[in-house]
């Protein structure tokens, strides 16, 4: 096996190479260069960890936002898909309720009425939730219950307005109290 010239030279002059040791200044410069590289890596490592943490927090916030607001939008979209007649009836009764509230604003009223209406609202929210997970064939029954809840709310407001009008005949009944049916 033939050795090349450089390898042969190194083997022949090995003792001359081993005897030479660099001075302290050379070792000091090497040490400083290694420390500088290590501190740069450390700074980059810390910065990349901070950036990664910020990205993870933003991603989690975005996912939570999409989950929360996406579910609300999906809930309303699926309500209209499940029972389109409910959406029309709901709009009608919401308009009626809004009108009755405006008429009731002309009178001094107790919070008892508001508490009753709030209870009805809670029941209606529960029914909406049930409508989303209802088995086939039960949707019509739940929609009917929702419509009855709206009718009850309108009836309560009408009764309160009638009683207030009877108790205070000097206050004229506000306009827009015509009763219409769906």
- Residue 177 pLDDT: 44
- Residue 157 pLDDT: 84
- Residue 109 pLDDT: 59
- Residue 53 pLDDT: 92
What pTM value is reported for the model? 0.46
So where are the chain's domains?
A: 21-82, 84-182
Count H helices, E strands: the chain? Answer: 6, 0
Using only the alpha carbons of the chain, give its radius of gyration: 40
- Residue 180 pLDDT: 44
Q: Do the Cβ atoms of 89 and 111 come closer than 8 Å?
A: no
- Residue 50 pLDDT: 92
Q: Pick out the chain residues at pLDDT < 50.
A: 77, 174-182
């Amino acid at each position: 096996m033939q050795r090349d010239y450089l390898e042969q030279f190194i083997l022949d002059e090995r003792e001359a190479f081993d005897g030479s040791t660099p001075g302290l200044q050379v070792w000091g410069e090497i040490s400083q260069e290694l420390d500088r590289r290590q501190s740069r890596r450390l700074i980059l490592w810390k910065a990349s960890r901070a950036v990664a943490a910020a990205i993870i927090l933003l991603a989690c916030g975005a996912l939570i936002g999409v989950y929360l607001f996406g579910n609300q939008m999906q809930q309303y979209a699926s309500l209209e898909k499940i029972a389109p007649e409910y959406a029309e009836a709901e709009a009608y009764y919401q308009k009626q309720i809004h009108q009755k509230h405006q008429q009731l604003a002309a009178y001094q009223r107790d919070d008892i009425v508001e508490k009753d209406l709030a209870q009805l609202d809670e029941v209606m929210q529960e029914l909406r939730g049930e409508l989303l997970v209802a088995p086939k064939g039960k949707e019509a029954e739940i929609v009917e219950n929702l419509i009855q809840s709206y009718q009850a709310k309108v009836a309560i407001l009408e009764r309160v307005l009638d009683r207030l009008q009877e108790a205070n005949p000097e206050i004229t009944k506000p306009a827009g109290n015509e009763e219409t049916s769906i």
